[in-house]
Structure 1
Amino acid sequence: MLLPAPRPPRLVGCTPEGDSQADALGACAARWHAYLASEVDMRIDPCDDMLVDTPDGREHYRLVGLKALELLADAMLLSGRTRPGRILDLPCGGGRVTRHLVRFFPEAEISVADVDEGKVEAVTRQFGVRPVAASADFTAPLGETFDLVFVGSLVTHFDEALYVRALDVLLGALAPGGVLVLTTTGRSWAAEAQGRDVEAGLRARAWWSPAATWLSRGRYRASGPRSAIEGRYARRGFGYVQVNSWTRLYGRSYGSSWASPSWLMRQVEHRPDIRILGFKERGFDHLLDALMLQRLA
């Protein structure tokens, strides 16, 4: 006997009350005006490894912070919630985004977390924010909740199991009505990684010609990223390749992942307490996608 197909879950709980669109637009505009009139602390701590110390590199570093604010403003407009009281920046790194958050949300309590305790110490000292303890492998909840959580390039380095576990912990850290902005690598990033092999003249191994593969001295071998993209990513929408140097540095598998929009939606569509606000491809640093989710009250 055929079993009935599972019914899609109905969203439970009420949509948190927020500003009207007109009021939300006005509130976001006021934040932007105040932010642009303020002075962002652009002193870079030596621990910050995201800075390329050239004039172009410093400008790019600054613009990445601005793109984060644009995503948060998008999320505020979509949710109508423009006055977050508690904000989390994870991972904070050396403060690439934090330095902008303290100017854009001067009235909010801003917290930071990172696997590198030295960076957390430097950021809390420089910007007056508070540290939050977070499990490096996301096996434990954060222990507190936030109205707004921004996650820069983090899950972009996780394998599938760790990615799913991290997403669950991050959603659990949302207060009722809280919003998560998660940046991730999607189909555009996957196409670029695949294209690098094509441009280099590398092709996948030909099943019918092992001799030609051997004689080519590896020219027919695709790189690890391309193999992952043309294999698991093509089949399931998620691909991962480990980077050994990063894995040794962090003491666990760490590399590059690719998550398609459809795979991402499958991870959250079974959650009746989570509302999908939006998905913005190449919304962060012109490279990463951004998924915006809200916890229902």
Structure 2
Amino acid sequence: MLLPSSRDVRRPRPGPALLPVHAPPSWGGDATAAVLERCLARWRRYETATVDPAVSTHDDMLVDTPEGRAHYRHVGLSALRLITEAMLLTGRTDPRRILDLPCGGGRVTRHLVKFFPEAEIAVADLDARKVADVVAQFGVTEIKSSKDFSAPLPGAYDLIFVGSLVTHFDAPLFARAVNVMIDALAPGGVLVLTSAGRNWAALAGVQDRDAGLVPQRWWRAALALVGGKKASHRLRVLESDYARHGFGYTEVRSWTKLYGQSYGGSFAAPSWLMRVVEERNDALVIGLKERGFDNLLDATLIQRAG
């Protein structure tokens, strides 16, 4: 299977695919009410539980102020809302095996263990210190995954939640990761994938322009004309690759050195991401919610045929 890239958009689209029927195949009034009641029961039980507030010293996602802690909690709740929407769309409210990838310091994991206390929850992250802390604190199971998604994920999952991960990948790695994640779903399982879409791209452009930056290709002219304006590789990518193809990527050298592979920031328009999923006839896009995660990242809900 060819992997789409930010420069490979002129090849023919895959032929029309006969997609499988959504499960459950029909929703009568009683079935709909039952799904709603099961979702409501989960929320009521969750609200009576105590979410562990302790945050690992290795968790770099927490800003330790009252506002920062409130936001940290909001992000976890945002994940639960997306998962609830997936349950409503599929009618599947009792995932037995769940994967939180990447788990970080447990920003979402701490909520998953309370929302699905009966489920087997697995976690993975490139930072071994964070994984060790999450496993010890929340009693979840660590799995090993390849950082470049060159190998399958172990196991078959009813739910995979992916926070900010593909937001750091170039186009080939982004597409490969999405396919590996879909392959790791059990029949009927759901992938909740978050990505940096057009909202994030627009914010990035505004930030750089407000900072007085210019696209990198203008660097020499800007230096001569206005006396040393700083250049932005990100602006150049947004105005070229992203504008033309719906995908842009900028590498962060310090991250690349840290992880041993190209690592940075990606911008993926919903249309580009749909091209990735279109390559498969065993995956259904059941939802797209722009700014659905933390009111910043897009959330795409993908179900494996079953």
Q: Give TM-score, length-normalised by structure 2.
A: 0.90
What are the Cα deviations for residues 95-152 of structure 1, in whole angstroms up to 9, with x where unaligned?
Answer: 0000000000011111101111221111111101111111111000012110000000
- How far residue 216 of structure 1 moved from its aligned partner, in angstroms, is 1.8
Q: Which residue of 2 aligns with 1:283?
A: 292
1:194 to 196, 199, 205: 205
- Alpha-carbon distance in structure 2 between the residues aligned to 1:47 and 1:73: 29
- Could you say which residue in structure 2 is the equivalent of 1:250? 259
RMSD (Å) for aligned C-alpha atoms: 1.9
What's the counterpart of residue 23 of structure 2? Answer: 16
**2:272 aligned residue:** 263
Mapped to 2, the partners of 1:83 and 1:5 lie a distance apart of 36
- The 2-side partners of 1:30 and 1:260 are apart by 35
SS in 2 for 1:290: strand
The one-letter code of the counterpart of 1:196 is Q
Classify the secondary structure of the residue corresponding to 1:181: strand
The reply on whether 1:143 has 2:154 as its aligned counterpart is: yes
Q: Is the aligned partner of 1:99 residue 2:110?
A: yes
Paired with 2:222 and 2:141, the residues of 1 have a C-alpha distance of 59
Question: How far has the Cα of 1:200 moved from its partner?
Answer: 2.5
Secondary structure, aligned partner of 1:9: coil
Letter in 2 for 1:62: R
Give ranges in structure 1 of 5+ residues lacking alignment.
none
Match of 2:9 in 1: none
Contact 1:112 1:129 in 2 (8 A): yes
Deviation for aligned residue 1:210: 5.9
Q: Classify 1:160/1:16 alpha carbon distance in 2 versus 1 (closer, same or farther; 3 Å).
A: same
The reply on whether 1:241 has 2:250 as its aligned counterpart is yes
Q: Any residues of structure 2 matched to 1:178-193 within 5 Å, and which?
A: 178-193=189-204
- Match of 1:7, SS state, is coil
Structure 1 match to 2:51: 40
Are 2:215 and 2:233, in contact at CA under 8 Å, matched by a contact in 1?
Answer: no
Equivalent residue, structure 1, for 2:185 = 174
Aligned residue in 2 for 1:217: 227
Whether contact under 8 Å (2:166, 2:174) holds in the other structure is yes
Partner of 2:133: 122
Distance 1:223 1:206, change over 3 A: closer
| Match status 1:69 vs 2:76 | no
Give the TM-score normalised by structure 1. 0.93
CA distance in 1: counterparts of 2:14 and 2:216, whole angstroms: 41
Q: State which drifts further: 191-200 or 286-295.
A: 191-200
Whole-Å Cα distance in 2 between the matches of residues 26 and 222 of structure 1?
Answer: 54
Summarize deviations over 1:242-286 as a string: whole Å, max 9, x none: 011211211211100000010011110121100110000001111
Distance 1:40 1:233, change over 3 A: same
Distance in 2 (alpha carbons) for counterparts of 1:194 and 1:212: 18
Q: Percent identity?
A: 58
SS at match of 2:64: coil
Q: Any conservation in 1 of the 2:256–2:264 contact (CA below 8 Å)?
A: yes
Report the Cα distance in structure 2 between the residues aligned to 1:191 and 1:174, rounded to whole angstroms: 32
Provide the residue aligned with 1:108 in structure 2: 119
Letter in 2 for 1:290: A
Unmatched segments (≥5 aa) in structure 2: 1-11
Distance in 1 (CA, whole Å) between partners of 2:60 and 2:258 is 14
Indicate if the aligned counterparts of 2:255 and 2:264 stay in contact, CA closer than 8 A. Answer: yes
Q: How far did 1:225 drift?
A: 1.3
Secondary structure of the corresponding residue to residue 214 of structure 2: coil
Q: 1:44–1:94: 8 Å Cα contact kept in structure 2? A: yes
Structure 2 CA distance for aligned equivalents of residues 141 and 231 of structure 1: 33
1:3-45 per-position Cα deviation (integer Å, ceiling 9, x unaligned):
x986311114x43338733222111111111101110001111
Q: 52, 57, 67: which one pairs with 1:56?
A: 67
Give how far 1:222 is off.
4.4
